[in-house]
């Protein structure tokens, strides 16, 4: 069978079954299409870097699938978590995994120039790390600037015409202070909300009771964080998730930051994969308000000025 789009659709359908309900599956599919297209254009093996590679699921899976299209000695994952990197090295022994902070320009420069840089669910952690001791929560302007500085450093690590594949959380458009009233559909959902408000670290979550114990009013900003974190409540991952804000930029802010970084947008998609679960726990009573688009997927190319 020739390796056309139908071949790859079938390949990924079987290979990514375990990621069925994960948004980042879309990042793998988009990156796979990009790698195939780029290889056709350049005719040479590609250099592939993932920043915040975790256990290597994204970069390892992509490089394994496209072993003839990538330069295996130039497939690199960076993460500062040594336990995750040990797993990467075990599961994907052919590639290079580097321990370090990917916001460090010197580290990035030491890795050479890349054809494709993957940032999958990584930049929101850069944003979330910018907690101000004075404020007791994330310093939003400083944190956004840190994300933008990181992106600018990533652009420096691309070859001219190189690409980024960015997948992450999305801050909904609209007034973040707008009041939204929600009704929990059962006591467990109400209890989970209590756990969320008392344990979530990046921001202080405030709400007002709205008539009966199952109804509360809170800001759009806080609601978005609650609803996207609700899938982790009661699960082991909550231990780390409670320290992270998945949202940081609105779609317009992503567009603006990309443009300022010299990146030309090629594809931008927003998506949500958890709305059905959310509907089982919570009803939104405020008219005209819906559950948020949770994720954003961006493919952008660095086109250096003439």
Q: Which residues here bind ligand SAM, judged by CB under 6 A?
A: 24, 52-54, 57-58, 78-81, 84, 101-103, 120-122, 125-126
User: What's the CA gap between 72 and 77, in Å, rounded?
Assistant: 12
Ranges assigned E (strand) in the chain = 46-51, 70-79, 96-99, 114-120, 131-132, 137-138, 158-169, 179-184, 207-210, 212-219, 263-271, 282-284, 295-302
Residue closer to ligand SAM by CB (options 52, 292) is 52
Closest approach of Cβ 119 to ligand SAM, in Å? 8
Residue closer to ligand SAM by CB (options 121, 224) is 121
Closest approach of Cβ 53 to ligand SAM, in Å? 5
Beta bridge partners of 75: 48
Closest approach of Cβ 294 to ligand SAM, in Å? 14
Residue closer to ligand SAM by CB (options 241, 285) is 241
The pair of structure tokens assigned to 240 is 């780390």
Residue closer to ligand SAM by CB (options 121, 301) is 121
The pair of structure tokens assigned to 97 is 């995994």
Closest approach of Cβ 18 to ligand SAM, in Å? 12
Closest approach of Cβ 178 to ligand SAM, in Å? 28
Determine phi and psi for 301, rounding to 5 degrees. -120, 140
DSSP element (H, E) containing 5: helix 5-15
Residue closer to ligand SAM by CB (options 149, 253) is 149
Residue closer to ligand SAM by CB (options 12, 207) is 12
Helices (H), 119-236: 123-128, 140-156, 187-199, 220-229
Closest approach of Cβ 6 to ligand SAM, in Å? 26
Closest approach of Cβ 2 to ligand SAM, in Å? 30
Closest approach of Cβ 221 to ligand SAM, in Å? 21
The pair of structure tokens assigned to 32 is 């796979």
Residue closer to ligand SAM by CB (options 49, 182) is 49
Helices (H), 136-219: 140-156, 187-199
Nearest to 28, CA basis, from 96, 116, 97, 152: 116
Residue closer to ligand SAM by CB (options 115, 125) is 125
User: What's the CA gap between 253 and 255, in Å, rounded?
Assistant: 5
Do the beta carbons of residue 117 and residue 157 sit within 8 Å? yes
Nearest to 217, CA basis, from 255, 173, 183: 183
């Amino acid at each position: 069978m020739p390796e056309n789009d139908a071949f790859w659709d079938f390949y990924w359908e079987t290979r990514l079954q375990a990621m069925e309900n994960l948004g980042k599956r879309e990042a793998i599919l988009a990156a796979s299409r990009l790698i195939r297209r780029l290889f056709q254009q350049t005719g040479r093996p590609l250099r592939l870097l993932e920043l915040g590679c975790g256990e290597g699921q994204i970069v390892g899976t992509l490089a394994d699938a496209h072993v003839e299209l990538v330069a295996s000695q130039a497939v690199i994952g960076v993460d500062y978590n040594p336990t995750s990197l040990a797993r990467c090295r075990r599961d994907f022994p052919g590639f290079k995994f580097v321990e370090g902070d990917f916001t460090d320009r010197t580290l990035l420069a030491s890795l050479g120039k890349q054809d494709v840089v993957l940032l999958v669910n990584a930049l929101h952690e850069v944003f979330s790390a910018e907690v101000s001791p004075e404020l007791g929560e994330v310093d939003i302007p400083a944190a956004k600037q840190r994300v933008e500085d990181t992106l600018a450093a990533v652009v420096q690590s691309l070859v001219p015409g190189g690409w980024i594949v960015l997948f992450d959380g999305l801050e909904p458009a609209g007034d973040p202070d707008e009041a939204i009233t929600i009704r929990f559909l059962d006591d467990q959902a109400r209890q989970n909300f209590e756990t969320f408000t008392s344990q979530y670290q990046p921001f202080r979550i405030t709400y007002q009771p709205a008539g009966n114990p199952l109804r509360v009013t809170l800001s759009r900003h806080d609601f978005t964080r609650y609803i996207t974190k609700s899938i982790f409540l009661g699960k082991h991952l909550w231990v780390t998730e409670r320290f992270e804000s998945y949202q940081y930029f609105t779609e317009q802010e992503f567009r603006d930051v990309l443009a300022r970084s010299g990146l030309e947008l090629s594809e931008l998609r927003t998506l949500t994969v958890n709305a059905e679960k959310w509907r089982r726990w919570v009803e939104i009573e405020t008219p005209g308000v819906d559950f948020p688009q949770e994720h954003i997927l961006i493919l952008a190319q660095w086109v250096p000025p003439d």
